[in-house]
């Protein structure tokens, strides 16, 4: 065995492979270097060469497509070598959306356990048979439903699927007994007028996380009947904000988004019903704001059976009326964790949302549910995660915090532990901790 072969074996003993194809900038630089060498030829010779070509081909000589072909060939050889060495962990990262091609041996690699694809795409008829793969992460992907079916059918041992900033499909059906964890992080909004929706059918799923900005993606949980842990901390934007981002004309009147918010309330009510059997539940600020509107509209908040509840709230926006309304619908909670973030946010609310939140702020919580108690709540932990000076938040934000703390202390009949803490030290400018 040569020294070169020995060093390559050592390189793959860790069973890890990270492939980062050349960026567009690298490709352009290499093309420019080639052109520079050509430009060193005498001008008379260059003119003569170009004169022998058809006009269309003469213009095309500004790009040498064979630099790209060489890199793709190198990537293919690298993947083939990884298959030969029975690699287990692969990260494939590209910065363009050109079709991701691989040798057939990689598509049927039986040693793969963890695979991350970032900003790539692959053909619909790609051969996929990763029989040992347990974790698959796809980031910045445009996927069709055929892609999803092909992937899931080719990964029979898959346990965890993470989709980050993806788009293109409207149905995600998971029938595998082994796939227990699904993470949907953000949505890649397309500049079109189509109705963005996603149905999730996963009857054997146990852990579900939906987070990040979903824009107008109406994500509907159809069947998640085996859930043990659910995390719903995503944000949906008002239809007017979306049209503004797409540089479209929009009506600033309140009536223009009333029907849209009615649709979102129905969606939230249905999804909360679907996750009501989860023993651990995490919800975010956007949910509490919608729950505030629930109560003013006379809609019932589905009763939750969760025992461990986490609320991720933004101190500048969260509404106590929505928070307490959800707590009232969670009589089995034993542990309550509240993470309050005071980081400045540039997110704005439309007039329709602000009207309801303002009404909620004026409600006396003590008199609203004077006879209600938390019969099982034993532990409460409130953590303030601040990224800004608290001076501007003290009078407004902390007033809400104290009201919530007072409410919990009075209503938790079997409370054993109450912790209130901040992750921030004192501000050097205003000396407020």
Q: What is the pLDDT of residues 10-41, one digit of tens each?
A: 444 445 666 555 554 454 444 444 445 555 66
Rg (CA), the chain: 28
Number of domains in the chain: 2
pLDDT above 60 for 113? yes
Q: Kindly state whether residue 136 falls inside one of the protein's structural domains.
A: yes
Same domain flag for 301 and 181 = no
Q: Residues 176, 265: one domain? A: no
- pLDDT category of residue 161 using cuts at 50, 70 and 90: very high
Confidence of residue 172 (pLDDT cuts 50, 70, 90): very high
Mean pLDDT of the 301-306 span: 93
139 and 281 housed in the same domain = no
Query: Residues 154, 57: one domain?
Result: yes
Please report whether residue 251 resides in a domain.
Answer: no
State residue 245's pLDDT score.
Answer: 56
Q: Assess if residue 245 is contained within a domain.
A: no
Q: Binning pLDDT at 50, 70 and 90, where does residue 62 land?
A: very low
Q: Are both 79 and 160 inside the same structural domain?
A: yes
Specify which residues 383 forms β-bridges with: 339, 421
Whole-angstrom distance, CA of residue 50 vs CA of residue 47? 5
Asked if the structure places residue 101 within a domain, the reply is yes
Cβ–Cβ under 8 Å, residues 260 and 238: yes
Residues 209 and 358 in one domain: no
Does the pLDDT of residue 204 top 50, yes or no?
A: yes
Mean local confidence (pLDDT), 222-250: 78
Q: Are residues 266 and 175 in the same domain?
A: no
Does one domain contain both 326 and 186? no
- Same domain for 267 and 195: no
- Mean pLDDT over all residues of the chain? 77
Residues 205 and 266 both lie in one domain:
no
Q: Residue range 281-301: average pLDDT?
A: 86
Range of the domain at 426: 256-432
Q: Establish if 9 belongs to a structural domain.
A: no
Tell whether 222 and 277 lie within a shared domain: no
Q: Are residues 220 and 261 in the same domain?
A: no
Flag whether 16 is in a domain. Answer: no
Domain-embedded: residue 159: yes
In a domain, 300, yes or no: yes
Last residue of a domain, one of 208, 227, 246: 227
């Amino acid at each position: 065995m040569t020294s070169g072969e020995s060093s390559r074996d050592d390189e793959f003993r860790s069973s890890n492979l990270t492939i980062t194809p050349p960026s567009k900038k690298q490709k352009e630089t290499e093309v420019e270097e080639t052109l520079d060498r050509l430009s060193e030829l005498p001008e008379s010779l260059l003119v003569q060469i170009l004169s022998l070509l058809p006009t269309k081909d003469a213009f095309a000589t500004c790009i040498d497509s064979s630099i790209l072909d060489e890199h793709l060939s190198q990537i293919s050889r690298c993947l083939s070598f990884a298959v030969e060495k029975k690699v287990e962990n692969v990260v494939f990262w590209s910065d363009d959306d050109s079709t991701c091609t691989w040798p057939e041996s990689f598509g049927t690699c039986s040693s793969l356990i963890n695979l991350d694809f970032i900003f790539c795409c692959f053909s619909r008829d790609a051969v996929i048979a990763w029989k040992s793969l347990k974790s698959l992460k796809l980031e910045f992907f445009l996927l069709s439903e055929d892609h999803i079916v092909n992937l899931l059918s080719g990964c029979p041992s898959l346990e965890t699927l993470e989709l980050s900033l993806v788009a293109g499909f409207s149905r995600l059906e998971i029938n595998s007994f082994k796939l227990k964890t699904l993470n949907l992080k953000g949505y890649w909004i397309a500049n079109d007028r189509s109705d963005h929706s996603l149905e999730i059918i996963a009857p054997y799923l146990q852990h579900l996380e939906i987070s990040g900005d979903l824009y107008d993606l109406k994500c509907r949980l159809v069947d998640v009947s085996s859930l043990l842990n659910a995390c719903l901390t995503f944000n949906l934007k008002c239809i007017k904000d979306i049209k503004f981002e797409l540089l479209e004309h929009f009506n600033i009147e309140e009536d223009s988004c009333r029907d849209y918010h009615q649709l979102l309330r129905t969606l939230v009510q249905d999804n909360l019903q679907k996750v009501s059997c989860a023993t651990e539940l995490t919800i975010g600020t956007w949910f509490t704001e919608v729950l505030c509107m629930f109560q003013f509209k006379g809609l019932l908040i589905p009763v939750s059976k969760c025992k461990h509840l986490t609320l991720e709230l933004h101190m500048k926006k969260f509404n106590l009326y929505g928070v307490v309304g959800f707590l009232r619908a969670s009589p089995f909670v034993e542990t309550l964790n509240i993470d309050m973030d005071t980081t400045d946010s540039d997110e704005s609310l439309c007039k329709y949302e602000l009207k309801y939140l303002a009404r909620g702020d004026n409600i006396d919580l003590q008199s609203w549910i004077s006879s209600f108690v938390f019969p099982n709540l034993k532990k409460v932990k409130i953590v303030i995660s601040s990224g800004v000076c608290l001076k501007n938040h003290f009078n407004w934000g902390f007033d809400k915090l104290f009201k919530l703390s007072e409410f919990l202390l009075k209503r938790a009949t079997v409370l054993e532990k109450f912790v209130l803490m901040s992750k921030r030290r004192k501000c050097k400018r205003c000396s407020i901790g």
